[in-house]
A and B are shown apart, each in its own frame.
Chain A
Amino acid sequence: MKASLKIFKQNLRQYFRDRSNLFWSLMFPVILLIILVLIFGGQQDERITMQISLVSLEEEGESDSREDIFAWSEEVEEIFLSIQAEEDQQWLNLHLPQENEDREEFYEQEMKLLAEGERHVVLVIPGEFNEQVMNKIAYQYHETGEAPPAGRMTAYYRPENQLSTIAADITEGIISEISRRFNIFSGMTAQEELLEVSHQEIEAFAEPGERQTGFSMTDYLVAGIIVMTVFSSGMEILVAKISLRRDKGILRRYQATPVKISQFFSGLFLYIGVITVLQIAVVYGVSRIFFDFTVNIFQPSALAFIGYALLVFLALGFLVLSLVDNGQAARGLVQGLFYPLLFLGGAFFTVTGLPGFLQLIVRLNPVTYLINGLRDTLGIFSSPTPAYQNLLVPGIWLLLALVVTFMKFSWSAGRKNNGN
């Protein structure tokens, strides 16, 4: 007992003594949290501004003969301007040509800016637009001959840029809405006949629990970060500490005295447990203070689940150590798997729409279930996977790891020294 406490204290002292290591190991989850919350947390639309240019080109030919046609293009401009003028909106930044500016030149310039990434959409209203619209409306009343096409305008966008794609969709929506308004205004349709569309979020849980404060992306992410820190303590630290000692032959020496080995491990586990708690506490503290994290992680079920997760990761650490003799390779394997398993486990975003074999990895990945389970237990979001699976699948991994460890774990390092 005393010996394990000594080992525990020794590890802990080492940890705290190395100031910079201490700082970064505690700070890193926080930094990640900050980044993720900044990307996802809060209202997205507030911060995005779309640069949309609008230019209506002169029509070829005589301009005076067109005076009698209603300037629909100007109407469109007016509507866009009024959207921009709306007090509480910030998403639209409209670019129009100056009074006396040559339309063609403006068009060229804006297209160039679009290519360079300074614009999201360039909406071009061709010269014949007004006439086209007139004809379309006229057809509705007279219905002679073939139906003419609707007034066509072109929205240029960059498909590789998501904002640009969205801006193009929004533009399409606005134009569609103008069309619709006209229909209502001119009495062709009644407002009531049209669909009223609303967009909302589903509830996080089928049965609303006691705390129904609404979904928070921050909460969603913090749960992922907590699992990440448990992953890192449980697996990375374990594999690092043991593989380093194994490489140096220290572990082999422990093996000669069976009592010592268990003390070494219990001291180590105690150390890992304390570090995990410390890291989670820091993440919790920061998210509570700065990010309005509303979840209470001190519920017994949540703490138990986190403890369970730690056990699973410790076992997986031993699995790696049993299968991989070489210390460097073992550490490399764990580090290399760390982010992919977290990403594919849904720690940083929701994982859907993956093809077969990747989806299979997601389903086999114990991290997936641990994250789902924690989010469910903390009342953040209902688990996409059934509760029993959240315990069972990591549990299977745990058992598998233990079995393999008993069979294959070697106390000495991979590369053998040969003779004197």
Chain B
Amino acid sequence: MEQKIKKNNNEAGENNSQKAIEVRNLKKHYGEVKAVNGISFYVKENQVFTLLGPNGAGKTTTIEILEGLTEKDGGELYFFGERCQRIGRRQKEEIGVLLQQNNFVELTQVEELLDLFASFYSTTIPATEILDIVELQDKAEAYVEDLSGGQQQRLAIGLALINDPKILFLDEPTTGLDPQARRNIWQLIQNLRSQGKTIFLTTHYMEEAEELSDYVYIMDRGEIIARGTPLELIAKLDRENIIVFADRNLQGDSISELENIFPQVDVDDEQVELHVKDLSESMAKLFDWSKKQEQTLDELRIRRPNLEDVFLDLTGKELRE
């Protein structure tokens, strides 16, 4: 209620009122280690904002500061335009949280757990509605430890929604889930966005970032190394296509010949990747090469560049270790 009034008081179009979260020069260190080393960003309302990065990048630390679980060591924090030292009880009323590990009180039924969390907030959505949203309608009386991994994750998201929060924090929401469960969660997230919620996501899955995000910040070793929409980031790579074929006993001189023709060649045990701009021209050159070198082009395919390529380009490392 208070937030709405505040919003109306601001001038229309003023940036502040549209920013759900903003951090400036946020810092957090553990002893000598600088987990978060002066990062700045803002999350616009009704947006899916993703922090993408490998494990140990500082994503979880960042999100935990925003969830009020850790105190920042430096920098400024703004919650819906209001500057705060930390996320306190008042702010917690407005947020929903999905932590990395599942952490339900044992020996409790699903509905009991939902009712329990409902009691923590002033405004809540009825448990039955939550169960509908996360598609666990027939699990109301099941014990939480009897749910499958995907079901538990959906329940955890349900708990995060119980107070109809303005902003949802989802820390690695699909890690460890099978592809089907992952797709279910993605659908759920997209539904929530279309309902007007703001979503702050951390992940190390490139497809997740690409699929869901309005805006991506790439993080590595406590710092932001790139920012933009997924398309913007990929476009910056300035390569349109990637030609891939299987590496079957490629000889050394064939490879060097390939490197002479194409500017960017990645060879590993399994496949060869050529990063090119003009597809037809490149394909012609490739066929040429293959005929001359007498190399077959097995499993030939063409793919678009993705955020993993972006990350690799920026850091020389892979997103997945």
Contact = CB atoms under 8 A, between A and B. Distances in A.
On whether the two chains bind one another, the answer is: yes
B109 to A, nearest CB: 13
B249 interface: no
Interface stretch (B142-150, B155-163, B198-206): B142-150
Contacts of B181: 420
A419 B151 CA distance: 9
Contacts of B178: 420
B151 A420 contact: yes
A420 B179 CA distance: 12
Interface in A200-218: none
Contacts of B147: 417
B148 A415 contact: no
Interface in A362-420: 415-420
A273 B181 CA distance: 45
Interface residues of A, number: 6
A376 B173 CA distance: 64
B153 to A, nearest CB: 11
B180 interface: yes
A418 B146 contact: yes
Contacts of A419: 148
Interface in B291-321: none
A417 B150 contact: no
A278 to B, nearest CB: 33
Nearest to B147: A417
Contact of B150 (A415, A416, A418, A420): A420
A416 B146 CA distance: 7
Nearest to A247: B145
A420 B148 CA distance: 6
Contacts of A418: 146, 148
A415 B180 contact: no
Interface string B164-204: 00000000000000101100000000000000000000000
A416 B148 CA distance: 10
Given A420-B180, A420-B181, A415 B151 contact: no
Nearest to B106: A328
A104 B145 CA distance: 72
Contacts of B145: 415
Contacts of B150: 420
Contacts of B180: 420
A417 B144 CA distance: 11
A419 B178 CA distance: 13
Contacts of A416: 146
A290 B259 CA distance: 80
A106 B181 CA distance: 86
Interface in B72-102: none
Nearest to A417: B148
Most chain B CB within 10 A, of A417, A419, A420, is at A420
A417 B180 CA distance: 17
A328 to B, nearest CB: 9
A74 to B, nearest CB: 73
B164 to A, nearest CB: 27
Nearest to B181: A420
Nearest to A415: B146
A12 B180 CA distance: 40
A253 B245 CA distance: 37
A285 B147 CA distance: 50
A416 B147 CA distance: 9
A250 B145 CA distance: 16
A258 to B, nearest CB: 28
Interface in A236-295: none
A141 B95 CA distance: 105
Nearest to B142: A418
A158 B8 CA distance: 82
A419 B138 CA distance: 12
A419 B150 CA distance: 10
A258 B30 CA distance: 47
Nearest to B146: A415
A64 B299 CA distance: 131
A255 B180 CA distance: 27
A415 B143 CA distance: 10
A179 to B, nearest CB: 69
A154 to B, nearest CB: 60
Contacts of A415: 143, 145-146
Nearest to A416: B146
A418 B141 CA distance: 13
A420 B147 CA distance: 8
Nearest to B149: A420
Nearest to B178: A420
Contacts of A420: 148, 150-151, 178, 180-181
Interface string B122-152: 0000000000000000000001011110110
A326 to B, nearest CB: 11
Contacts of A417: 146-148
A161 B167 CA distance: 68
A418 B143 CA distance: 11
Contacts of B151: 420
A420 B150 CA distance: 6
A420 B135 CA distance: 12
A415 B178 CA distance: 22
A314 to B, nearest CB: 29
A417 B143 CA distance: 10
A418 B180 CA distance: 16
A248 to B, nearest CB: 11
Nearest to B177: A420
Interface string A121-154: 0000000000000000000000000000000000
B143 to A, nearest CB: 8
A413 to B, nearest CB: 10
Interface of B: 143, 145-148, 150-151, 178, 180-181
Interface of A: 415-420
Q: What are the nearest 3 A-B pairs in CB distance? A: A420-B148, A420-B150, A417-B148
15 contacts: A415-B143, A415-B145, A415-B146, A416-B146, A417-B146, A417-B147, A417-B148, A418-B146, A418-B148, A420-B148, A420-B150, A420-B151, A420-B178, A420-B180, A420-B181
Given A418-B146, A420-B148, A420-B151, 13 more contacts: A415-B143, A415-B145, A415-B146, A416-B146, A417-B146, A417-B147, A417-B148, A418-B148, A419-B148, A420-B150, A420-B178, A420-B180, A420-B181
